[in-house]
Chain A
């Protein structure tokens, strides 16, 4: 009797388009403004003084910016490599076997950095690392790399696990039937299939490390400013579009990697 209702579709709800557009505007308008003012010829971050690339030149020639950039990249590469390795092992351990007791607890522990407030991790690491520094006398980049690796693990873990859950065990079982050792099975069957997930995880970890502020601010030793902490330090004096220029480059870099991430995860999925 009753008409068959149409399948539920959120896009047909009243006001959907309006709210969607509003959300995008609110999210992106400030970023677009920031990018526009990076091309400001004047020295203000909100008064237009003509188009110019001068602040990009200023930022590029600023020695502090150069050093901070190199330092940020070194830390991000190391953090990505370490956290992805750990995350791959964790993902294999949690998916390539049947359900086991305490699985949920393990998931929560692995994803802990996503849930614990960053400032808590930052203060904890500050206290812990300063006693290590006292005991060992070492104050190099190692602390920052370790700290970054730790909070990057869940970001690398999630895409790898998603990939593994989409792969059933038939290939591995077949390899084992053909007398492949566990290592050979992993090396020649699992890893090649898993590779897009690993690359995606590494890229995500890289970006997360590159953008981190709070933990870095607390863990850094003398002379270890990264690009984001350098920018934070600029707030004491009047901001110039130099900060916009640096932000824009960082943003462009992040977007490029995220696009690459989207391609890698889409392919063969």
Chain B
């Protein structure tokens, strides 16, 4: 069966080659696209892919919105997809042109930012949790209490990444609230707890991979991919999934409404939903991908990585952060500003 599929794919690939020397312009985060995966795509389809980098969702949105950007596909984060859709910058995907659309893992199909995957398909996803060095603290890492009320072993040794939405929402989940809540009782608790915890933090900084590896941080609010890299350098590091709730993020591939190379774009979207190719993306950037069955093609060190494959008992606590209304963002900014003082 498998050889049959491969043969068909090869045949399809060669026939496409015969009539199309296509072009495709992918606009993606820098250093985020596996070059091997692109080479394979070009070899199979004859389509040349030009990758252009961006460094933030805002830069990408600004350029696309200005028009005539020349890009076909863009890879916005989950909370930016509704903004793109609202501004009419994305084409609704014709699922009949994406035979592999069914490969998207069921939990990634009806996502809040793009119900039914009308406008985007998964690229990569990850979570924000707590990395702990077990040689310093041997207790349960799966709780956000670790940074909101650090145990004596971690006082003065814990870092918190300066990401407003991730940190505040983790504290909101801890206080029993929901993402984007404007409940002042919850927010007051959040504010008081963060302010009380701050003196026992070592720092609020990025660069966590290195400092966790070296043991400079005994713990940190951190991303899963970064924690995995730290753990490979230093086996004492473990990744905790706060049981009270923790944020998830996902970047998604979307087709721009002014795309010039629509056929090529569909071929690409279909290509990355093939489990083997999705695994290549993950192997390069070290995050999960959201395509069912890609696990078996992953490199050995990722297949078993507890940071990538979320243990079942913690999966339900992960939540995507929606795009909050400005009124909520104003409240959060006020708390955040006070915290950073």
Bound together, the chains give a CA A133 to CA B50 distance in angstroms of 18
Digitize A42-64: 1 where CB-to-B-CB distance is under 8 Å, 0 elsewhere.
00111100000000000000011
Bound together, the chains give a CA A221 to CA B50 distance in angstroms of 11
Total count of chain A residues near the partner, CB < 8 A: 31
Interface hits, A21-60 → B, CB 8 Å: 44-47
Whether A236 pairs with B32 at a CB distance below 8 angstroms is yes
Bound together, the chains give a CA A232 to CA B69 distance in angstroms of 19
Whether B30 pairs with A233 at a CB distance below 8 angstroms is yes
A residues in contact with B40, CB < 8 Å: none
Which one of B70, B214, B229 contacts A221 once the chains associate, using CB atoms below 8 Å? B70
Q: B144: CB under 8 A from chain A?
A: no
Bound together, the chains give a CA A233 to CA B56 distance in angstroms of 9
Digitize A220-248: 1 where CB-to-B-CB distance is under 8 Å, 0 elsewhere.
11111100011011111110000000000
Interface hits, B107-156 → A, CB 8 Å: none
Whether A139 pairs with B68 at a CB distance below 8 angstroms is yes
Closest to A46 in B: B210
Closest to A243 in B: B31
Q: A218: CB under 8 A from chain B?
A: yes
Whether A217 pairs with B71 at a CB distance below 8 angstroms is no
Total count of chain B residues near the partner, CB < 8 A: 31
Whether B52 pairs with A222 at a CB distance below 8 angstroms is yes
Whether A131 pairs with B67 at a CB distance below 8 angstroms is yes
Closest to A62 in B: B35
Whether A222 pairs with B30 at a CB distance below 8 angstroms is no
- B residues sitting closer than 8 Å to A (CB atoms) are 25, 27, 29-32, 35, 50-55, 59, 62-63, 66-71, 207, 209-210, 213-214, 226, 229, 285-286
**17 more A-B contacts (CB under 8 A) besides A126-B63, A134-B68, A217-B59?**
A45-B210, A130-B67, A131-B67, A133-B67, A133-B68, A134-B67, A221-B52, A221-B69, A222-B25, A222-B27, A222-B70, A223-B51, A233-B54, A234-B30, A236-B55, A237-B32, A238-B209
Kindly list the 9 A-B residue pairs having the minimum CB-CB distance in the complex, ordered from nearest: A233-B30, A233-B53, A223-B50, A133-B68, A222-B25, A222-B70, A130-B66, A236-B29, A130-B68
